[in-house]
């Protein structure tokens, strides 16, 4: 499939979807799509210092089953959780945190919750932020703006996805997967899981787009002095570039200028290279049909 043709179609879909969403994370707007029955404010956990920490449970699949609640979660950085937040989260009896962040991000914004709770298995693939900062020179590609990253996210995130699915298949749940904002790397990982479980594509895209209103950028950054940290930390240096010189800014909609959700770019690339998401999971991640059947038996009801 030609990626450019696919995205031109998605652009129309994306524009319709985003017309119901606010670009500010504090919005209470309800998406007006087929996902409206399952995508709602209640799935966001009430954390004082959290950002985009939500339950993937409740979504219906194409075969009329439902993703189990209280088992599969996604989140932004958990560096600013309060003692009250940690006590609340501990009620879920989390077994695993899969942290998709780079070493520079971990150094800058460590997860204190997992340090305080020895029952949680903390999983992370060691890599540098420089590994995912490659520039794309094709002028046509540059038209995707911030969505450029999604052209290669399926390749760049393979080691992390292998860890993520391994934990899921070993039933190390409840589990939360996170990155810094909980929208790009986490959004892709969540999209792959929901796809494997049989959740419809439009619902998956809707879940992905919710990050814009569920993020709390202030909690993601905490009290770190980015200007000072940027002298020795490449992620801090990058954050200075993408923020107002280190000041907290609003979360931006995850769409291209023509309204295409960034995640649609990733789906198009996968389908162009592998044919289907299932083929990608099997060939690149090592998750075959038997594994997918097991995931469905574990996390659907």
- pLDDT, tens digit (0-9, with 9 covering 90-100), for 60-116: 999 999 999 999 999 999 999 999 999 999 999 999 999 999 999 999 999 999 999
Cis peptide before 238 (omega within 30 of 0): no
Mean pLDDT of the region 142-163: 87
3 state SS of 175? strand
3 state SS of 173? coil
pLDDT of 138 strictly over 80: no
Q: What is the DSSP letter of 284?
A: I
User: What pLDDT was estimated at residue 247?
Assistant: 67
Q: Which of 11, 69, 4, 71 is nearest to 42 (CA)?
A: 69
Cβ 167 vs Cβ 100: under 8 Å: no
Cβ 120 vs Cβ 96: under 8 Å: yes
Cβ 194 vs Cβ 67: under 8 Å: yes
The alpha helices in the chain, defined as continuous H runs, are 3-18, 83-90, 103-108, 112-116, 153-156, 158-169, 185-197, 201-209, 211-214, 217-221, 226-229, 234-242, 262-274, 277-280, 289-299
End-to-end CA distance of the chain: 34
pLDDT tens-digit map of 197-243: 999 999 999 999 999 999 998 899 777 888 999 999 999 998 887 77
246 pLDDT tier (thresholds 50, 70, 90): low
Residues in the chain: 301
Average pLDDT taken over every residue of the chain? 85
Q: What is the DSSP letter of 141?
A: G
User: What pLDDT was estimated at residue 153?
Assistant: 95
State which residues form the domain around 262: 3-299
Number of structural domains (the chain) is: 1
Cβ 206 vs Cβ 215: under 8 Å: no
Query: In 124-146, which positions are buried (b, 16+ CB within 10 angstroms) versus exposed (e)?
Result: bbebebeeeeeeeeeeeeeebee
| pTM, full prediction | 0.84
User: What pLDDT was estimated at residue 250?
Assistant: 81
pLDDT tens-digit map of 16-36: 333 233 222 222 333 333 343
User: What pLDDT was estimated at residue 10?
Assistant: 41
Beta strand 72-75 with 54-55 is antiparallel
| The two three-digit tokens of residue 57, written as one number | 């449970």
Q: Which residues, 6 or more positions from 11, have their beta carbon under 8 angstroms from its beta carbon? A: 256, 258, 259, 260
Range with the poorest average pLDDT among 45-49, 120-124, 249-253, 283-287 = 249-253
CATH number for the domain that contains residue 293? 3.90.190.10
3 state SS of 291? helix
pLDDT of 132 strictly over 50: yes
């Amino acid at each position: 499939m030609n990626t450019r043709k696919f995205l031109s179609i998605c652009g129309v879909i994306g524009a319709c979807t985003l017309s119901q969403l606010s670009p500010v994370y504090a919005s209470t707007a309800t998406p007006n799509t087929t996902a409206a029955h399952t995508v709602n404010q209640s799935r966001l956990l009430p954390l004082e210092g959290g950002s985009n920490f939500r339950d993937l449970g409740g979504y219906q699949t194409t075969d009329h089953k439902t993703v189990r609640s209280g088992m599969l979660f996604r989140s932004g950085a958990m560096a600013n959780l309060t003692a009250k937040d940690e006590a609340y989260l501990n009620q879920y009896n989390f077994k695993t945190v899969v942290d998709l962040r780079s070493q520079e991000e971990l150094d800058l914004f460590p997860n204190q919750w997992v340090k305080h709770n020895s029952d949680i298995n903390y999983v992370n693939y060691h890599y540098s932020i420089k590994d995912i900062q490659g520039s794309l020179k094709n002028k046509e590609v540059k038209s995707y703006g911030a969505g450029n990253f999604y052209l290669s996210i399926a390749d760049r995130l393979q080691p992390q996805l292998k860890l993520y699915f391994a934990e899921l298949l070993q039933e190390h749940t409840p589990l939360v997967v996170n990155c810094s904002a909980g929208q790009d790397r986490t959004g892709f990982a969540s999209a792959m899981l929901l796809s494997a479980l049989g959740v419809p594509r439009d619902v998956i895209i809707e879940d992905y787009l919710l990050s814009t209103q569920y993020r709390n950028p202030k909690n993601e950054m905490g009290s770190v002095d980015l200007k000072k940290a940027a002298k020795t930390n490449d992620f801090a240096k990058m954050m200075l570039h993408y923020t107002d010189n280190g000041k907290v800014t609003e979360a931006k909609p995850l769409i291209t200028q023509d309204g295409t959700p960034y995640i649609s770019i990733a789906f198009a690339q996968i389908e162009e290279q592998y044919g289907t998401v299932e083929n990608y999971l099997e060939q690149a991640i090592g998750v075959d049909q038997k594994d997918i059947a097991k995931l469905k038996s574990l996390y659907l009801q």
